[in-house]
Structure 1
Amino acid sequence: MQTNKEQYDLIIIGGGPIGIACGLEAEKKGLSYLVLEKGCLVNSLYHYPTNMTFFSTSEKLELDNIPFISNNPKPRKAEALEYYRRIATSNNVKINLFEKVLSVETSKENQHTVITTKERYSTLKIIVATGFYDIPNYLNIPGEELPKVAHYYNDPHYYATQKTVVVGASNSAVDAALEIYRKGGEVTMIVRKPEIGERVKYWVRPDIINRIEEGSIKAYFGARLAEIKEEEVIIETENGTDILPNDFVLLLTGYRPNFQFLKDIGIHLSNDARKIPQYNENTMETNVPGIYLAGVICGGMETHKWFIENSRVHAKMILDDIAGKK
């Protein structure tokens, strides 16, 4: 592994919208910086479903007051990819793609070394902006490892004419169920709670409720998926056990940040189920001096708390604090 001899003022871990926003602010402050992204540009967004429509309107997804013009008030995934790519390339954001951060070492003098799959970087400050989309919430049930099972959903065409079970009742699960049904798939939803989630997009929630009520999509409420087999699934309901013929299973039960990475670099997490990282709400600096958090990762397991639209401000907050300490 090579050692980069330059000492950076700032290393930004994560090349999503918030990581790019931090890079733009670092450029304004005249700081030497580098964004490290383990995948492609805005990697998590790239892996969202093909037909995804954002909950937010386009102006709320804008970075650095650069206009985001979309065909409709609520942009689609393809439009967002185009927007963030143009921002990164037009502003020459310094970013290394397909370079995964493996670990961070901090000296007694609070100097940091970022170790990646390719190099070692020395830096004074670090921003962790890695989001939460990398690790699914596993059910840990028999058969979850079968090839027919997926924790991510992409395109409905793949499931056309097939018997597909969708587990979950949030936006991702509802979108998948509706799209697959409309491509000719036979969809069954398994929902732990007694109804479709209240946070489902307001223009989509009536659609899924109506499809369930008319019988176009079958739904088991107050139920859980107990086992997945090659050609069937076993469901436990309030009325007993059901066995359904099945071709594919989509476990869209949410995702979580990489808590182990945070702990490994010394960031404290709350002792409750929320696992909120410790940071100063005014500066976003964690309990480890010189290491900051930005974006969705600040919410721990409360992944509904932070979005692009309300965490864009983290970039300026952090860079103002870093610049003020130089």
Structure 2
Amino acid sequence: MEGNPDFDIIIVGGGPIGIACGLEAQKNGLSYVILEKGPIVNSLFNYPVNMQFFSSSERLEIDDIPFISKEAKPKRDEALEYYRRIVTSNKLNIHLFERVESIQKNDLFRVVTDKNAYSSRKVIIATGFYDLPNMLGVPGEELPKVSHYYKDPHFYASQKLAVVGASNSAIDAALECWRKGAEVSLIIRGPEVGQRVKYWVRPDIINRIEEGSINALYNSEIIEILPEEIRVRTPEGEKRLANDFVLALTGYQPNFDFLVNAGIALSEDEKRIPQYDPDSMETNVSGLYLAGVICGGMETHKWFIENSRDHAKRIIRHVLTLQD
């Protein structure tokens, strides 16, 4: 028999889209809690310190709250300030540093965290995809010199650094670290720098490669990481490069096990796209919704803040319709 839940809605994930869902629930008189495993907008906090968004500030706005930045395209710190102020000024009900471990549904949803357990009528998953890096799968990847996350170029000054990848994160890291005095080798599996690299950055990296400032190995991949060097397979044969650090910035993926354990069906192809109704964002589990980049499965380039911020309105509109 159905009892009284703790909340109408539990929102898993306190990033921009989770915050948007909380705002929309609050405006419509629904009781809710946002559960975030880290600080406010944890994924943005873990972006590189000098990161600049591809999108302009107005396209990162949520709930029509103005986002004013010094330049047209804001920096990481400006985004942290913007979303933090939204949370604090609106007194959103958010529990920080509380990791959700499971979601189960009987009559109500039961959401278990590392600190507590809660019940609700509806659940929104807005967890993004920044948790699990795509591993290289090579010997030596477990060495402490290897990282799948990049924070500050100062750390790599005067060091021999291999950056693996051809997307925005890898190219930004290669350029920033080179400018701080690192000796950078860029290991790219394909034939060129990624076409999705920010349009004002791509010519910069190509020029640095052409002038010889950054060593780029195309159609290449690391086959082993050793304490003082790396082995790289190239079209010209194997090369050994002296090396102090490896930044393996090869992308990230959602926590698919978490979705499957909650009962959400995934497509059977390599994209692993979760099943949901694009009008309501409701999954195959009644009352369980997805919001934000988590909807794209392995297509992590498909959804961004700017084109998923309306997910909150779709979800809350559907929730309210069911209550009528």
TM normalised by structure 1 equals: 0.97
Equivalent residue of 2:71, what SS? coil
Cα distance in 1 for residues equivalent to 2:176 and 2:307: 29
Equivalent residue of 1:236, what SS? strand
Q: Does 1:209 align with 2:206?
A: yes
Cα distance in 2 for residues equivalent to 1:83 and 1:74: 13
Aligned to 2:10: 11
Aligned to 1:247: 244
| CA-CA distance at 1:214 after TM superposition | 0.5
List per-residue Cα deviations over 1:38-77 (Å, max 9, x = no partner): 0111000000000000000000000111100000000000
Aligned to 2:94: 95
Aligned to 2:39: 40
Aligned to 2:260: 263
User: Which one of 147, 151, 154 corresponds to residue 150 of structure 1?
Assistant: 147
Cα distance in 2 for residues equivalent to 1:7 and 1:92: 18
Q: Does 1:140 align with 2:137?
A: yes
Cα distance in 2 for residues equivalent to 1:256 and 1:7: 31
Equivalent residue of 1:22, what SS? helix
Letter in 1 for 2:10: I
Cα distance in 2 for residues equivalent to 1:220 and 1:119: 49
Q: Does 1:237 align with 2:234?
A: yes
Q: Does 1:85 align with 2:110?
A: no
Aligned to 1:160: 157
Q: Does 1:124 align with 2:125?
A: no
| CA-CA distance at 1:6 after TM superposition | 5.3
| CA-CA distance at 1:236 after TM superposition | 0.3
User: Which one of 179, 182, 205 corresponds to residue 182 of structure 1?
Assistant: 179
Cα distance in 2 for residues equivalent to 1:131 and 1:76: 20
| CA-CA distance at 1:7 after TM superposition | 2.1
| CA-CA distance at 1:258 after TM superposition | 0.3
Aligned to 1:287: 284
Letter in 2 for 1:184: G
Letter in 1 for 2:117: R
Aligned to 1:191: 188
Equivalent residue of 1:126, what SS? strand
Cα distance in 1 for residues equivalent to 2:104 and 2:189: 42
| CA-CA distance at 1:105 after TM superposition | 1.2
Cα distance in 2 for residues equivalent to 1:138 and 1:245: 22
Cα distance in 1 for residues equivalent to 2:129 and 2:5: 30
Cα distance in 1 for residues equivalent to 2:173 and 2:33: 36
Equivalent residue of 1:87, what SS? helix
List per-residue Cα deviations over 1:89-121 (Å, max 9, x = no partner): 0001100000000001111x3x11000011110
Cα distance in 2 for residues equivalent to 1:154 and 1:99: 23
Equivalent residue of 2:86, what SS? helix
| Total equivalences in the alignment | 320
Identity %: 64
Cα distance in 1 for residues equivalent to 2:171 and 2:218: 14
List per-residue Cα deviations over 1:150-203 (Å, max 9, x = no partner): 000000000001000000000000000000000011000000000000000000
Given that 2:5 and 2:121 are in contact with CA atoms closer than 8 Å, whether structure 1 keeps it comes out as no
Cα distance in 2 for residues equivalent to 1:319 and 1:125: 10
Aligned to 2:303: 306
List per-residue Cα deviations over 1:277-314 (Å, max 9, x = no partner): 00001100000000000000000000000000000000
1:15-26 alignment runs, 5 A limit: 15-26=14-25
Cα distance in 1 for residues equivalent to 2:100 and 2:37: 7
Aligned to 1:53: 52
Q: Does 1:276 align with 2:238?
A: no
Equivalent residue of 1:115, what SS? strand
Letter in 2 for 1:83: Y
RMSD over aligned Cα atoms: 0.7
Equivalent residue of 1:208, what SS? helix
Equivalent residue of 1:277, what SS? coil
Extract unaligned runs of 5+ from structure 1: none
Cα distance in 2 for residues equivalent to 1:314 and 1:98: 24
Equivalent residue of 2:306, what SS? helix
